[in-house]
Structure 1
Amino acid sequence: MIAPDELFLGASRTADDAYQKPEVLKLGYANRHGLITGATGTGKTVSLQVLAEGFSRAGVPVFAADIKGDLSGIAAPGEAKAFIDRRVADIRMEEQGGLSFERFPTVFWDLFGEQGHPIRATVSEMGPLLLSRLMNLTDAQEGVLNIAFELADEEGLLLLDLKDLQSLLTVVSERRKELSAQYGNVAAQSVGAIQRSLLVLERQGAEHFFGEPALKIADLMRTDRDGRGMINILAADRLMMNPRLYGTFLLWLLSELFEELPEVGDPDKPKLVFFFDEAHLLFDDAPDILIERIEQVVRLIRSKGVGVFFVTQNPLDVPDTVLSQLGNRIQHALRAYTPREQKAVKVAAETFRPNPDFDCYEAITQLGVGEALVSTLESKGVPSVVQRTLIRPPSSRIGPLSDQERAMAMGGSPVAGLYDQPIDRQSAYEILEERAKKAALDEAEAARRDEAENDRDDELRKEQREEKTGWFENVFGTRSSKRSGYKRQGYAEAAAKSVIRSVSSQVGRQIGRAVVRGILGGLRR
């Protein structure tokens, strides 16, 4: 019988070509990560489903991406079918308690909020490094984005959604001379390139991802009433149309787990198991610094109690620095028609601890559907000898849920209503908009004061002109009738008065001389 701390994966082939020896994954080594590879149609999704069911039974929550929708069937019980009955008999599953059909507690998620509860993250949580990866920015453009985040931190601007970042970039453009003097060159072309990239993201639906309420990691780590771990399924069929967003989101989620979870060392079982389906999308065209970040998180998150399993077609899809961290391996069939495929088979064969009973290279090309080479970590973390294994059938449905079944599952979800409605609280966009309005009002008030000041200056100049006019009138002529009761003399009037004064003066002088002569003459006599 399988021990409580083991997950039953299937049965390996013995020397007499019968599948008898059970192959298991020890829960205590599940946080040493793993790899599931194989060509399309060889059974990778079923292997993932079997692992997810086993972890859930053991009380370990699971997060997995559902690329084609097939994994959603884990929320419904399986059904007896001829090929399942044959598989149960082939691996002598009745000796391990048989196969019981059951559904598993499942929470559906969707970045676009269509086939599951919305998943959101804030722009600040994503950070400039992952945003640069998402927008495929150059080094210079990434530098400008880092300056924008630094400015937001200094000025207390919350970056929650895309419009917050767009508003901040407008401010960066307006203040680029000031920021260039403080942080280095902020080119208008770089700001423009980032703004155009944000527009592309917005049209691809990224505005649904950035915002609040942001996902709480604790909601991915729930158990149901029976103590079974919740299986979180991310609807990724539409997300696959934007592989850069898919890869960036998965890396963000892994980084959040690493940053938020406490150190636990090597627990008896993982706190969470994370499956990266179509893992090559995470690494394609990724810059070296991002590969280093992934390798660092994968290496260190083990001590947080998180197991990471990469699921992909070709082991060459995973960089060597990451591949070396993956201790548990399930290798389905690979084709070896092209030189690259032949190299992939060789790499896969060389990563296993050899089994003297068969050649790994040949076995990988001869595996049937649902058959795999399996090697897991045993005591002291030593890889087991690789075994040719027939994978057990899952207890849940093989295939997708109907839309009605999915809706029912979402309605009974433990997070129903927590994330379905977006929240738009005050953040950088609103703060910068208020600043802009205040600046416009201050500018209008300043213009009004300037206009009033100009009016007062005009009035003062007018009064000064009037005072000067009055002074000239007092000196050179009469005051106007309106101001002093006098009126200005005409030229004719002035000339007549001058003649009269002249005549009067002459007459007066003659009379005066005559009077004087008369007086003097009288005195002489």
Structure 2
Amino acid sequence: MAIKSTADKIATIQKGYALEGPSIELGAAIIDGELHKVAPVRLPLSMMNRHGLVAGATGTGKTVTLHMMAEQLSTAGVPVFLADIKGDLSGLATAATGTEKLVARTESIGQPWSGRTFPVEFLALGGDGNGIPVRATVTSFGPLLLSRVMELNGTQESSLQLVFHFADKNNLELIDLKDLRAVIQFLTSDEGKEELKELGGPSKSTAGVILRELITLEAQGMEKFFGEPEFDTAELLRTAPDGRGVVSCLELPTLQTKPMLFSTFLMWLLADLFEELPEAGDLDKPKLVFFLDEAHLLFDDASKAFLDAITTAVRLIRSKGVGIFFVTQTPKDVPAEVLGQLANRVQHALRAYTPEDAKALKATVSTFPMSDYDLEETLTSAGIGEAVITVMNEKGAPTPVALTRLRAPESVMGPSSDALISGTVASSALLRKYGTAVDNVSAYEKITGNAGAGGRVAGAAGASREKLADAPAGAGSRATAGTPGEPDIDAEARRIEEEILGRPSSRPAPAPGRAPAPERQARREAPQETSQGTSQGADGMTGELAGALGGGLKSMARSLGTQLGRELLRGVFGTATKRRRR
């Protein structure tokens, strides 16, 4: 192959990154050891929902790259979600001050630079930090993600799914961890052993293991992350009054002490977006760009079911207008099924100090298209703030590989002051909505008979299924299956399953003389929207079937009631749909 001249290489980069529509300016190409600002490197906005990877060794500039990309996305009117692990990304709310070194760098790559602030919303899981509290209900979180947090094995995970099935069917709302603990304690008690047996799967010893793991979570202080008011992921899609996208910055200062919880909580946010957003098709710009930092935590020791769910979510959420960028040290941290869907690549320097590092380097090089660079040498010699880039162009083809000196952020590359963060949080409209935790009547109160000040629950410890089913769902009245004019929920569920799957239903028939389980009453005032499901639930429906029939099932579920809808339509991560709170 003929050796290209420097001029030819510059022309290749210029042609490859000559985009017609709006784009993110990433920097200028370095060719044959020289920086050429006449060869800018860009990422088209319309292709940012094709997902991406930002990788590189510690200290090579990945966080600054996220910072710079978030600024430009916000300016383009695209909301951004960032997990702030080190606290540095809060600097987006503070304008940077130009220094002689900074000005020299920006001029060298042709970047017009001025210090600016950006609209930032500070979030914190469960209020554990300086930010708007982000909580999820246990039922919304679902058994698959909760199993991941509790590090359960496959058998225990399946058993937990059946516990959720029991709670769904018996009108027991799982809002916080004490609700789930109460249900499991009931099932493992003498009064509940028949119910446990009827579930047809979990042994008492397995249920006991789950209960112990649950108590461990509570002892570690993780109960604050589960409860109400539940965070509405639609809040992540907001724009500021001036049209710029809001940057939602989730503080994760104690990631190292609870890595599994935090990484799984991020996936819950994505799963909830996946379930709630409508199909959008190809857009001029994404509705949201979601950066998943420390992505390796998602995949370490993950079960096959969890990996399959992530792969499905990444593949399908693109059509909802959401782009995901995984941030980690090497592409090796991301499973091949997910990596194959990441079209936009920003690869910072790698180190090759050990044989394992050398293998990771070769694997990384193999994932790039053919190029004019010696990538093994380039990736080990790239400086801080430089990266090897290839993205998807507007026609859906990969751009030429380009070693790029990246643009500098216009806001502070470091934390904002505590006073500024506290003031931003205090003035946020979201604080009034999510700032104070509430403890509504749910499974714990129904099983223990402890109604609290409201006095809305009548029950007793050790209640049987009939007593659990008869407990009121909330302040309003409740429709009961078997009542004249109301559907028999279990009978309809069995009929639908047999009709769709063409085989006998896996749902047990009601015991003689026992009334079918009641329909679950809506706990919030807004009407519930059920979403298309793609995972295998307790009723045996496969993901492919649920996805193909999603539209019809949604309408059917609404007509049959929320309990049946949740039973049939748990989402891709086994998460339950919830009512929108607009």
Question: Shorter-chain TM-score category?
Answer: 0.7 to 0.9
The residue type equivalent to 1:207 in the other structure is E
Residue matched to 2:43: 25
Instruction: Specify which structure has the higher proportion of helix.
Output: 1
2:393 aligned to 374, 378, 391, which one?
Answer: 378
What is the CA-CA distance between 1:202 and the residue it aligns to? 1.3
Matched, 1:390 2:396: no
Contact 1:35/1:309 (CA < 8 Å) preserved in 2?
yes
Aligned residue for 2:77, secondary structure, equals coil
Corresponding residue number in structure 2 for 1:66: 84
Name the SS of the counterpart of 1:301 in structure 2. Answer: helix
User: Which residue number corresponds to residue 223 of structure 1?
Assistant: 239
In the TM superposition, 1:124-143 aligns within 5 A as 124-143=139-158
Q: For residue 351 of structure 1, report the CA deviation from its aligned partner.
A: 1.5
Q: Is the 8 A contact 2:126 2:135 kept in 1?
A: no
Letter in 2 for 1:109: L
Identity across the alignment (%): 47
Pick closer, same or farther for the CA change 1:185–1:265 going to 2, 3 Å. closer
Residue 203 of structure 1 and its aligned partner are, at CA, apart by 2.4
**Residue 257 (structure 1) aligned with residue 273 (structure 2):** yes
Q: CA deviation at 1:229?
A: 0.4
RMSD between aligned residues: 2.0
Select which of 286, 299, 312 maps to 1:283: 299
Show the 5 A alignment for 1:408-427.
408-427=423-442
Counterpart AA for 1:260: E
- Cα distance, 1:204 vs. partner? 2.4
The equivalent of 1:50 in structure 2 is: 68
Q: What's the secondary structure of 1:18's corresponding residue?
A: strand
Specify the structure having the higher radius of gyration (Cα): 1
**Per-residue Cα deviation, 1:308-361 (whole angstroms, up to 9, x for no partner):** 0001112111111110000001111000111221122112222222222x2111
Distance of 1:19 and 1:322 partners within structure 2: 34
Post-superposition Cα deviations, 1:398-452, rounded to whole Å, max 9, x if no partner, equal: 1111211211221232422211100111111111122997447999xxxxxxxxx
Letter in 2 for 1:33: H
Higher mean C-alpha displacement, 200-209 vs 388-397: 200-209
Cα deviations by residue, 1:37-87 (Å, 9 ceiling, x for unpaired): 111111101100111111101111111101111111011111112321121
Question: Aligned residues, how many?
Answer: 438
> Cα gap change, 1:17/1:432 in structure 2, threshold over 3 Å: closer, same or farther?
same
State the AA in 1 paired with 2:60: T
User: Counterparts of 1:442 and 1:259 in 2: how far apart (Å)?
Assistant: 34
TM-score normalised by the chain length of structure 2: 0.73
Please say if 1:272 is aligned against 2:284: no
Query: Looking at both structures, which has the greater relative contact order when contacts are Cα pairs under 8 Å and sequence separation is at least 6?
Result: 1
Provide the C-alpha distance between the structure 2 equivalents of 1:344 and 1:272, rounded to a whole number of angstroms: 31
Correspondence list, 1:299-314, <5 A: 299-314=315-330
| Contact 1:19–1:389, Cα closer than 8 Å, also in 2 | no
Matched, 1:195 2:211: yes
More deviation, 136-145/148-157 = 136-145
Give the unaligned 5+ runs of structure 1: 444-525
CA contact (8 A) 2:138 2:226 kept: yes
Please report how far the alpha carbon of residue 139 of structure 1 lies from its aligned counterpart in structure 2 after TM superposition: 2.8
Residue among 85, 91, 98 paired with 1:80: 98
Name the counterpart of 1:454: none
The one-letter code matched in structure 2 to 1:146 is: Q
Distance in 2 separating the partners of 1:148 and 1:337:
48
Give 3-state SS (helix, strand or coil) of 1:286's partner: coil
Letter in 2 for 1:217: T
The code of the aligned residue for 2:303 comes to P
Aligned residue identity for 1:135: M
Matches within 5 A, 1:487-498: none
- Matching residue of 2:421: 406
Partner of 2:116: 102
Counterpart contact for 2:95–2:116, Cα < 8 Å: yes
Paired residue for 1:245? Answer: 261
- Partner of 1:115, secondary structure, is coil
- Matched residues in 1 for 2:359 and 2:61: separation? 21
**Which residue pairs with 2:125 in the alignment?**
111
* Distance (whole Å) between structure 2 residues aligned to residue 4 and residue 442 of structure 1: 64
State the shift of 1:2 in Å.
Answer: 8.4
Q: Tell me which amino acid in the other structure corresponds to 1:138.
A: N
After TM superposition, list the pairs within 5 Å mapping 1:337-348 onto structure 2: 337-348=353-364
